[in-house]
Amino acid sequence: MAEQDNPLEGMEEIIEEFLAESAEGLDQMDNDLVALEADPDNRELLANIFRTIHSIKGTCGFFGFSRLESVSHAGENLLSRLRGGELALTQEIATVLLNLVDAIREMLATIESTSTDGDNVYADLVETLTNLTNSPADSADNTTDQAESPTAKPPVAQGETVPQTSTNAQQSPPDIPEQAESHHDPTTSRGTLSAADSAIRVDVDVLDNLMNLVGELVLARNQILAHQVTQQDPLFTSACQRLNLITGELQQDVIKTRMQPINTIWNKFPRVVRDLAKHCGKQVRIEMEGKETELDKSLIEAMKDPLTHLIRNAVDHGIEPPDERIAKGKSAEGRVSLTAQHGGGQVIIEIADDGAGINVEQLREKAIALGMITTTQAPQMQDRDICRLIFAPGMTTAKTVTNISGRGVGMDVVRANLERIGGFIELESARDRGSKFRIQLPLTLAIVPALLVRSRNEHFAIPQGSILELIRIETGAPGSGIESIHEVPVFRLRGMLLPLIYLHEELKLGDVHPSDEILNIVVLQADKKKFGLVVDTIEDSTEIVVKPLSDILKALPVYAGATITGSGHVALILDVLGLAKHAKLLSETHEPSSDIDASSSQQDNEDCQPLIIASTLDGGRIAIPVESVVRLEEFKRAFLEHTGNRTVVQYGREILPLIELTELLRERRRKPRPIANHHKSANEVVHALIYAVDGCSVGVVVDRIQDIVEHNPSTRGPPTRKGTLGTIVVNGKITEVFDVAALRREVTALHKQPKCAAGAGGG
């Protein structure tokens, strides 16, 4: 017989949260019932007890725990009459309710261990609760009178024995039904739910304060590390390295405490889609993937309104009515999908529909009518550029204004809200095939990796998420590539014209610096626009703590915050998108504001991909696909250690094995050997490309990273040696293409050894 699918599969985290909250509520209910016995008229205690049982009953019904639902429902009915004043609390009722708590606790423990609520239906307990619920309303009110009356008899619940009366007609207390007696010894621990023991509730303000303290610790760490470079004391160097590792681990763990699954805002969307589709006369289903993807709580809150607006737009604008879909050969039911995943240190969210897509010609005419573009510009703009006009203020394609949409207010606000939290949004649409919005967000806004630069002795930080590459050129050298088009300085980068922004000129920091014959260019990307930012000095990459700007500076569009560098200087954090707008490289609709990009866009090749050009230790030149590389790192040779025949380095929580690229390319494989001392100085650095293979991280050591280029790796000559896929010509030089599969084979062989050097930690 085929095994049935588990209906609760994928809901483990929600069930665990339910178990923890229920256990917490039951513990409080124990205390409240005891307190209620001493103060039967306390309506607040009774209301708290009722809410606890009501919450458990409602949630277990959602999960399909029918036995638990039946037991809690019987208790809820009794509590409802107590809360309504129809019954008065007696010792007998309090005892039965305490037994109810114990029974529910047992069933929750069964759920935790077996994912079911067990086979015990607690029939006797349910019957007792039902009999007490159905007892006459005046029986509780007149308990005292009945006890004083020589002829009054107490109500008899099923399973009870009638108490004998003494010669003075004085009534003895009723016996507690045997089937309702406590299931637990009150002197022993009832903490049977490990879910309750493994979770605690912490106020958000406490987490925010803890995050601020960790931020200050990171700043102090950076200052100490900056000072350590000038010191020669090995004990101090070792202590600094240890401080760096501990601070990094503490920072990661604190950030995790603020991380929440995106499902906390997604769980309302099925209801939104259902109600909106019914209102619009459409049939729409919603599909969600990646609900467990986590991001910072502050970002979760900021994402609520933008995502809701995009979902409503998909149903209202995107999905066609059933008859129209059938006429197009589609199913009557439309589909809206949400996906979320982590990628490149960011969260990527996609909202897609299989509806009508954007009518480009209608949008083009609307943009002309609103004065956003001219009749001369309109025919020259590509369809994708026209589609992006929906993010312009006042733009709408709705034919009528409804209470849902059509006023042209929304998409520009969505874009602005996402940019405010360091994200951006892009759109893909095809007529009658649907639309897809792609959102990229940072994982957190509190501590971010950044590049520190200087311009005219002022310090600035650039978030690394916007940096593509770094270039250093001599302006007077032949073929330096600095040109001027329409009075805009540009740099010819691999055949593409890259517009340049001089930071000191844009921010009016002062006159030309004497060292301007050497240009340090930071290649940035704002939305889809690439440009070069010219700075005086490129200092270092580090993690910065983002501090909000004062109210006086918040209105400046080029700054996203401030931080304190390791040297103790205050550095303003540049807003890359705002800087591009301020320099008129982008308009408010994010379209290129000059014709420079037109020539470069024609040279874009969809088959091209970014490649790292590196030199190997044997003098070779090799191209490595960027998409397979997790990080680029530099390690001081003094920090390298050896275990057996392997060279390793402490890397976060991992022990990272290092492999020379030349070893992977040898025709005859030999036993692994430690990395040779090609440099005598301990302060020399080793350049490594970090890969993640089969759950382990590994560093591939190269001699030097020369460049990062856009190239089509499929155009190649035959391979010249093992570990390569072939050869290509990059910048006029023959370059080998690295076979990543060779690295996978090496790591597999590494795992087959008695001990994996990569350790058990996660990076």
Characterize the bridge pairing of strands 654-660 and 646-651: antiparallel
Backbone angles phi, psi at 261, to 5 degrees: -65, 145
Average pLDDT over residues 717-746: 80
Sign (positive or negative) of CA dihedral 314, 315, 317, 318: positive
Structure tokens that stand for 271 in this block: 């209801």
Alpha carbons 129 and 763: distance in angstroms, whole number: 54
Q: How many CB atoms lie within 10 A of CB 367?
A: 21
Name the architecture of domain 449-603.
Answer: Beta Barrel (2.40)
Distances (CA, A) of 150 to 90, 91, 735: 21, 22, 108
Let me know: does 71 contact 117? Beta carbons within 8 Å. Answer: no
Tokens 């311009």 found at: 455
Instruction: Write down the H helix ranges in 548-620.
Output: 576-582, 596-603
In the chain, the amino acid numbered 517 is: E
Alpha carbons 467 and 649: distance in angstroms, whole number: 27
CATH fold of 609-752, please?
A: OB fold (Dihydrolipoamide Acetyltransferase, E2P) (2.40.50)
Contacts of 712 (CB under 8 A, 6+ apart): 605, 607, 608, 609, 728
Q: State the pLDDT confidence band at 184, using cuts at 50, 70 and 90.
A: very low
Instruction: Write down the H helix ranges in 43-136.
Output: 43-63, 66-83, 91-114, 123-133
SS3 content of the chain, % helix, strand, coil (to 5): 40, 25, 35
E strands, 384-487, in order: 424-430, 434-442, 447-455, 458-463, 467-474, 482-485
Percent share of the chain, pLDDT over 70: 77
Tokens 């209102």 found at: 279
Q: What's the half-sphere exposure (Cβ side, CA atoms, 13 Å) at 32?
A: 21
Let me know: does 267 contact 274? Beta carbons within 8 Å. Answer: no
Q: Which of 431, 440, 584, 434 is nearest to 501 (CA)?
A: 584
Q: What is the pLDDT of residues 418-471, one digit of tens each?
A: 877 778 888 888 888 999 999 988 777 677 888 999 998 889 999 887 888 888
Backbone angles phi, psi at 249, to 5 degrees: -65, -45
Structure tokens that stand for 238 in this block: 């070792």
Secondary structure letter of residue 410 according to DSSP: S
Backbone angles phi, psi at 498, to 5 degrees: -105, 110
Characterize the bridge pairing of strands 346-353 and 434-442: antiparallel
Looking at per-residue pLDDT, the higher value among 168 and 238 belongs to 238
Alpha carbons 703 and 686: distance in angstroms, whole number: 8
Cα–chain-centroid distance for residue 605? 31
Let me know: does 722 contact 666? Beta carbons within 8 Å. Answer: yes
Superfamily of domain 262-442: Histidine kinase-like ATPase, C-terminal domain (3.30.565.10)
Over 90: is that where the pLDDT of 709 sits? no
Over 90: is that where the pLDDT of 321 sits? yes
Looking at per-residue pLDDT, the higher value among 614 and 4 belongs to 614
**What pLDDT is recorded for position 713?**
66
Q: What's the half-sphere exposure (Cβ side, CA atoms, 13 Å) at 437?
A: 26
Q: Same CATH topology for 449-603 and 609-752?
A: yes
**What pLDDT is recorded for position 690?**
84
Q: What is the pLDDT of residues 364-408, one digit of tens each?
A: 888 888 888 888 878 878 888 888 888 887 776 655 555 555 444
Average pLDDT over residues 88-94: 88
Alpha carbons 415 and 234: distance in angstroms, whole number: 51
Element at 334 (helix H, strand E): strand 334-343
**What pLDDT is recorded for position 590?**
54
Over 60: is that where the pLDDT of 164 sits? no
Characterize the bridge pairing of strands 488-493 and 467-474: unpaired
Alpha carbons 334 and 353: distance in angstroms, whole number: 8
Quick check: helix, strand or coil at residue 624?
strand
The neighbouring-strand residues paired with 342 are 347
DSSP 306-364: HHHHHHHHIIIIISPPHHHHHHTT--SSEEEEEEEEEETTEEEEEEEE-S----HHHHH
Let me know: does 223 contact 240? Beta carbons within 8 Å. Answer: no
The hierarchical CATH code for the domain 204-260 is 1.10.287
Characterize the bridge pairing of strands 654-660 and 696-702: parallel
**What pLDDT is recorded for position 198?**
62
Alpha carbons 58 and 581: distance in angstroms, whole number: 52
Contacts of 640 (CB under 8 A, 6+ apart): 647, 648, 649, 658, 675, 686
Looking at per-residue pLDDT, the higher value among 671 and 77 belongs to 77
Over 90: is that where the pLDDT of 325 sits? yes
Average pLDDT over residues 642-656: 81
Q: Which of 410, 447, 429, 425 is nearest to 347 (CA)?
A: 425
Characterize the bridge pairing of strands 621-625 and 733-738: parallel
Looking at per-residue pLDDT, the higher value among 264 and 475 belongs to 264
Sign (positive or negative) of CA dihedral 628, 634, 639, 642: positive
First vs last Cα of the chain: how many Å apart? 43
Alpha carbons 558 and 556: distance in angstroms, whole number: 6
- Characterize 478-490 residue by residue with b for buried, 16 or more Cβ atoms within 10 angstroms of its Cβ, and e for exposed: eeebbeeeeebbb
**What pLDDT is recorded for position 596?**
42
**What pLDDT is recorded for position 513?**
56
**What pLDDT is recorded for position 335?**
94
Compute the mean pLDDT over every residue in the chain, rounded to the nearest whole number.
Answer: 77
Alpha carbons 146 and 135: distance in angstroms, whole number: 15
Secondary structure letter of residue 584 according to DSSP: T
Alpha carbons 459 and 540: distance in angstroms, whole number: 12
Average pLDDT over residues 177-206: 55
Alpha carbons 275 and 316: distance in angstroms, whole number: 11
Q: How many CB atoms lie within 10 A of CB 473?
A: 16
**What pLDDT is recorded for position 187?**
39
Over 80: is that where the pLDDT of 534 sits? yes
Domain positions in the chain:
12-153+175-185+192-197, 204-260, 262-442, 449-603, 609-752
Residues in the chain: 763
Let me know: does 130 contact 77? Beta carbons within 8 Å. Answer: yes
Distances (CA, A) of 209 to 63, 323, 446: 36, 56, 12
Quick check: helix, strand or coil at residue 254?
helix
Q: What is the pLDDT of residues 540-574, one digit of tens each?
A: 888 787 877 777 776 778 888 888 887 778 889 89
The hierarchical CATH code for the domain 12-153+175-185+192-197 is 1.20.120.160
Let me know: does 284 contact 271? Beta carbons within 8 Å. Answer: no
**What pLDDT is recorded for position 320?**
93
Average pLDDT over residues 354-363: 90
Let me know: does 211 contact 254? Beta carbons within 8 Å. Answer: yes
pTM of whole model > 0.75? no
